[in-house]
Structures are given as structure tokens and as C-alpha cells.
Amino acid sequence: MGLRRYLDPIEEQHLGAAPTHVAEYRGAVEHRYLRQAFELLCLRHPVLRGRVETGRHGSLLYVEPGHQPEDIRTRGDYEVLLRHAFGPWNPAHAMARLIHVRENGGGFVALRIDHAIVDGHSLRAIFDELWEIYAETVRGIETSIGPGTSLPRSPQDLLAERWRSLPDRFPLAQQEDWHRVPPHQGYIRFDERDTAALLTAARDHGTTVHALIAGSVLGTQCAHGSRTSAPVPMICLSPVNLRSRVIPAVTATETTALVKIHKAELAVRPDRAPYATGRELKAQLESAIAGRELLSPAELSMVLSALPDSPLDPRFAIAQVSNNGHVHARLERFTEPRFLGFSSAVDLISDAFPIYSVFTFRGELSIRYLFPSNRFSAEEVAQLTESLSGLLRSSCGAGTGLRG
């Protein structure tokens, strides 16, 4: 009998959503070696070979000997990649897929993995491992990878064991009121010079990059959705990765997700400086982490169902902003292939609020944005993100060009 366990409620709420993590490269990638590296990766992490069978007792994650996820190799451009990233997905068939799209002089390599078995932190770590195995394979270095003998730990069990805090106050079932929809998505990108200016501005104003960007997000949404110049109540959600905050610490792939949420309640005016909002948010966040007063994803639906009355259009009253820091540092040294950058193609999100995610690669900062397509038009998203880019650049004295 293969490895098996039931998904816990944290994992189950993400089942069937399958984001695709993408690297754009220049140079040559030998697909036969890439496929071999992927097979070794799946040997090390058997959860990637898993499937899910959902029945009356729950969603059973299981790994059968001999089952291998598929790989896709084709020629084309980024649009071809997106067709595979947004194609049909069935966890009963597979939980992971390798995608390689080649074009003249380079191409794209992506991993599409079900969100029930990875979060952003573990997906990036697995992606780094794929390329490190590939590099050894190309050089003819015999790997010492042995078969993994277990599935990742349940995040619910790990949180109960290592993050002692108040129990969840609301049942997970409340989140069923939310709907999954395709997002409007894209990136605001800063070059190395403008990224340095942003870091300096945050430091000089006594805040962090995360808090400065969050303050700018709230200010932008307030300006677009408010019908008054008076302060309006707004909420900013900040996911907190707990892997390094528990004792003993948890490795990237030891569990499928280990995240709590901080909810900051702030009074925002359209003309309020983003630094002021950012400093207030930073203070609330640090206090909540120190006191372990963070929310589980299960509690968000009840929190959001009780938003205060406000003249602000409710679509703009809340946002989620996360900062993933410096990503894929191990891949910066690669020269063949050379990685130009990374992106994520997200197939489905909850329609509860806009999501912004910040990361830096090779000294250049990117802000990924996701807006529920049933609540925001493409035109509104374009206006919001252009305003956000302009506010951030003017706040830190950076250039004014928007790179998508």
C-alpha cells in the first residue's frame, strides 16, 4: 500500500486550485535532462506523485507506486504557456505537472502544482530543487536522491503542536460563502535602481517595504473607492509564514502550508501619506506576531462578513498584501540557462478581495496583483495598478515608467 492520509481542513479549502510557477530563461534547456530531474524531484517528494480521491469521509491524498505526473513539451511563446497553465485540472488524475515551452533562444519552464499540497514558500523551494538536480544531471553528476518515505505533515497538526495560541473562533465551513473565480492578474515591476530607491525610502521613513507597499495599496484603493475626503475604515490582511517562527522550525517542504493571517484595521484618507499608514500597519503587525494574535484562514469569512459601515465602496475596503522577500537566490548564479525572471499564472482565487504579492529577484522588485474578475473590470484594474505604481514611484523618488 502506498502513502496516504486525508487532507486537513486547511489543505482541503485549496484543493483544485493549481497555480503555475514560471521561469523565463535564455539559453538552452535539454528536455530529456529536465524530465529526468523532474522524475528525481518526484522521487524525493512523493506528494508530487499523489492524487486525491474525495468521498464521504473527506479528501484522501494517496501515492501509488509507479504513478508519475505528466510533463508537457512544446514550442511557442508565453501565450502558449498560459493555455497550459489555465487548462483543465483534476486532482483525481494528478497533483503536479511540468511544462516546458521553447522558443528561439530560450523559453519557459513551469511547475503547476495543486494548492492543496504547496503554498508559495514550498513551491519556490521545490522549483529551486528542480533546477539544482537538473544542473547536476546535465554535468553527469550521479545524484544521491533516495525515495521519500512520507507525505508532508498536516499544517493543522503542526500549528496545534508548535504554535500555541487561541483556538480558531469560527468554523471553516463559513468560507464556503466565497466563490472561486479567474483573476485579472499582472505585475508592477521596478528595475534595480527604482528598487533601491524604494528600499531606501522605506528605511528613511521608519517602516518596511511590505508596510510601505501596503500603505500605498490602501491609499490607492481608498482614492478610487471613497466618496469622501474624511478617513474611512479599511482592512489590510498580511499572511505570515510561521515556518521560522515555531520551535523547532519547520522546513519549506515539511508541510504543505504554515501560514496565519494578520488583520490590520486602519483609518485611511485618499491623501494620507502611505508612510503614515505603513508605520501604523507595521506596529499592529509586530504586536500581533509577538502576542500570537493571528487568524487562521478559517476565521476570515466571519471577519469579512462584519465589515463596518463606510462610505467606501466595499470592493475597495480590504486588500491582502504579502512580502515574499528575496526569492530564488540560488538560481541567480546560473549562466546556462540564465533566468530572466519569474512569474505565477494563477487559475483561480477567492472573490473576497484583491491580492498583492511582493518579491525581489536579482535586485528587482515585483508586485503581483490578483483581482476577482467578477467584481472588478479589466479597466478598473488597469487604472488601480497604474495609480499604485505612480504613488509608489513618487513617494520614493523613483522613475515614473510602468513595466508590466
Q: Looking at residue 164, what is its pLDDT? A: 72
- Determine the distance from the C-alpha atom of residue 104 to the mean position of all C-alpha atoms in its chain, rounded to a whole number: 30
Q: Which residue stretches of the chain have pLDDT < 50?
A: 170-176, 400-404
pLDDT at position 177, please? Answer: 58
At 221, list the grid cell.
484603493
| Neighbour-count burial of 273, counting CB atoms closer than 10 A to its CB (0-12 exposed, 13-18 middle, 19+ buried) | middle
Which pLDDT does position 174 carry in this prediction?
Answer: 42
pLDDT at 238 (0 to 100): 97
Query: DSSP state, 105?
Result: T
pLDDT tens-digit map of 345-404: 999 999 999 999 999 999 999 999 999 999 999 999 999 999 999 999 998 876 543 333
Alpha-carbon distance values, 124 to 20, 21, 49, 159 (Å): 11, 8, 18, 21
Say what the pLDDT of residue 144 is.
84
Q: Of 76, 39, 80, 46, which is closest to residue 63 (Cα–Cα)?
A: 46
Residue 232 amino acid letter:
V
Q: What pLDDT does 168 receive?
A: 53
Report residue 27 as a C-alpha cell: 539559453
263/239 Cα distance (integer angstroms): 9
Task: With CA atoms as reference, report the closest residue to 78 among 22, 17, 19, 18.
Answer: 22
What would the pLDDT profile of 270-317 be if each residue is shown by its tens digit?
889 999 999 999 999 999 999 999 998 778 877 777 777 788 999 999
What is the predicted pLDDT for the residue at 353? Answer: 95
Are 20 and 345 spatial neighbours (Cβ–Cβ below 8 Å)? yes
CB 109 within 8 A of CB 29: yes
Instruction: Output the pLDDT for position 166.
Output: 52
Q: For 164, phi and psi rounded to 5 degrees?
A: -80, 110
What does the alpha-carbon distance between residue 301 and residue 247 come to, in Å, rounded to a whole number?
A: 29
Pairing state between β 20-26 and 338-345: antiparallel
Close Cβ partners of 138 (under 8 Å, ≥ 6 residues apart):
30, 33
Q: Which residue has the cell 533566468?
A: 339
CA distance 43 to 26: 28
